[in-house]
Amino acid sequence: MSGFKDYLIYFIHFLLLQFSFFGILYFLSINKYIFYVGFSILFISLSFLGFYKYSLDLSVTKSMIEAISETSLLVSVDLISIPFIAYVLFVGLVLYFVIKKYKKIKVNQLKSPLIILAILGIATYFIIESYRHNTFKSRLPYVAFNSVIEFFEEDHIQLLPINNNVKAIVNDINFIFILGESVRADHIQLNGYNRETSPKLSKRKNVISYSDLYTPLTHTVASVKQLLTNQSVNDVVKSNEVYSLFSILNATDYKTSWIGNSTIVKSYAPIIRSNKNVELIDKFRSIMSFNKALDEEMLQPFDSVLKTTKNQFITLHMTGSHWWYENRYSDEFRKFTPVTDSKHIPSLEAEQIINSYDNTLVYLDNFIDTVISSVEKTHTKSIVMYVSDHGEILGEGGKWLHAQESEVSKNPAMIVWYSDELFSAYPKSVSALIKNKEKRVSADFFYHSILDLIQVQNFDYDKEKSIFKEENY
């Protein structure tokens, strides 16, 4: 944050958040038995979460709750430290004095004028959430409640079973899929952007960029579900019963691996878990964290998985160019300045935001180039395909970020590299891939193109959506 206005907005947000929670605490205090049990559990739980939130910068998410539920006692002991013990004693002391003070209260809370403020406090939560979703919901203490609720809820999406007789005629390709975040096609140098956002990839051979990829799905949850299943961007009603691309690949004896630096969202979690191997980097920190790990942390586990076999499908799920941009790249990639110095967008100049955003693309260029270098060393029939889930709005129509109606957010970036070995073995498919790069392609292409490339048999898919066939576009 920078400037008085930013701090004032933050302070008002903080006051409203506390005011809304005051309403909950007040109603807890109406009955002494509810207060003794309910407040004690609430106070202790939130105190512990708060300690690790601010000492380790851990994000309170469903993944964290899930990990806590599955963590052994021996592992939990490793988290206990002298500061933590001191903190526990302090929390216990505060709780003791609060309960002692509560016992002395003689006022009937139901008849107190404060009940009106309590009702207004609770109403504040719903009013602000309806105006701007996740303003309170993604912050402590509410994020803790919602994460627990999400943990106990059933996953709504259902994966359809795959027949045992499904097979792939082509079973010798290494397919590396890089799932990006919030990267728009027109800021990629390979597509004619006037800034050097792709300095390394621009010098590589066998690199092509699709400049006219289209998706109407401008937020991650909907986009990822569609890309990785048989759902179509044109489906008016999205079915909860889908075929997972990974389940199909597993049935064809391709080894599937998911390496992610982005939290697995409940809505598409079953799809991700249908991979044979799932590894999450920095899974306790969400994209909201100030200290979220950089995407390069995925490269070491990627190299380890890459060495295991020659017919695999590896997904790298990036945090990419999601706001706040300054957390998405290291200092060496700060090529364009001045950059953002506040998270409050109205206080920033458009130049600052765009500079920070473009720096994330320079970092992306290096990330993809590094992945290609690793794959190149295997001398196998390989393809590296980067697809962003959606684009990003950078001031068009006075709007910013994504999950809003804007053409630029519907045009995500897509970059492909293929090995010489792949071209030699399957020249017709690669030639079609190259020739289709200038054409308008729907995000439906991904699921069907993968199955077409490896020539899946005994399973229905739409070959006419494959970018590996020239006649389709």
Domain range annotation of the chain: 4-152, 158-472
Q: How far apart are CA 201 and CA 190, in angstroms?
A: 8
Q: How far apart are CA 168 and CA 175, in angstroms?
A: 14
Nearest to 245 by CA among 182, 179, 198, 322: 179
Reduced to 3 states (helix: H, G, I; strand: E, B; else coil), residue 148 is: helix
Match domain 158-472 to its CATH number in 3.40.720.10, 3.30.70.3040, 3.40.50.460, 3.30.365.10: 3.40.720.10
Reduced to 3 states (helix: H, G, I; strand: E, B; else coil), residue 240 is: coil
Cα diameter, the chain: 86
Burial 242-255 (b: 16+ CB within 10 A, else e): bbbbbbbbbbbebb
Task: Show the tokens assigned to 459.
Answer: 């399973």
- Model confidence over 10-27: pLDDT tens digits? 788 889 888 888 888 888
Each residue's pLDDT tens digit in the chain (473 positions)?
A: 556 777 788 788 889 888 888 888 888 888 888 889 989 998 998 888 787 767 655 566 665 665 565 444 544 554 566 788 888 999 999 999 999 988 887 767 777 888 899 899 889 889 888 887 777 777 778 877 877 777 676 557 899 999 999 999 999 999 999 999 999 999 999 999 999 999 999 999 999 999 999 999 988 888 999 999 999 999 866 778 999 999 999 999 899 999 999 878 777 899 999 999 999 998 777 666 667 899 999 999 999 999 988 899 999 999 999 988 999 999 999 999 999 998 777 788 999 999 999 999 999 999 999 999 999 999 999 999 999 999 999 999 888 888 777 899 999 999 999 999 999 999 999 999 999 999 999 999 999 999 999 999 999 999 999 999 987 76
Q: How far apart are CA 464 and CA 454, in angstroms?
A: 15
Task: Show the tokens assigned to 62.
Answer: 């469903």
Q: Are 206 and 368 in contact (CB under 8 A)?
A: no
Q: How far apart are CA 198 and CA 364, in angstroms?
A: 8
Q: How far apart are CA 51 and CA 57, in angstroms?
A: 9
| Per-position DSSP letters for 152-177, written without gaps between them | HSPP--EEPP--TT-EES----EEEE
Report the chain's terminal Cα–Cα distance, integer Å.
Answer: 48
- Model confidence over 103-140: pLDDT tens digits? 887 767 777 888 899 899 889 889 888 887 777 777 77
Reduced to 3 states (helix: H, G, I; strand: E, B; else coil), residue 71 is: coil
pTM assigned to the model: 0.76
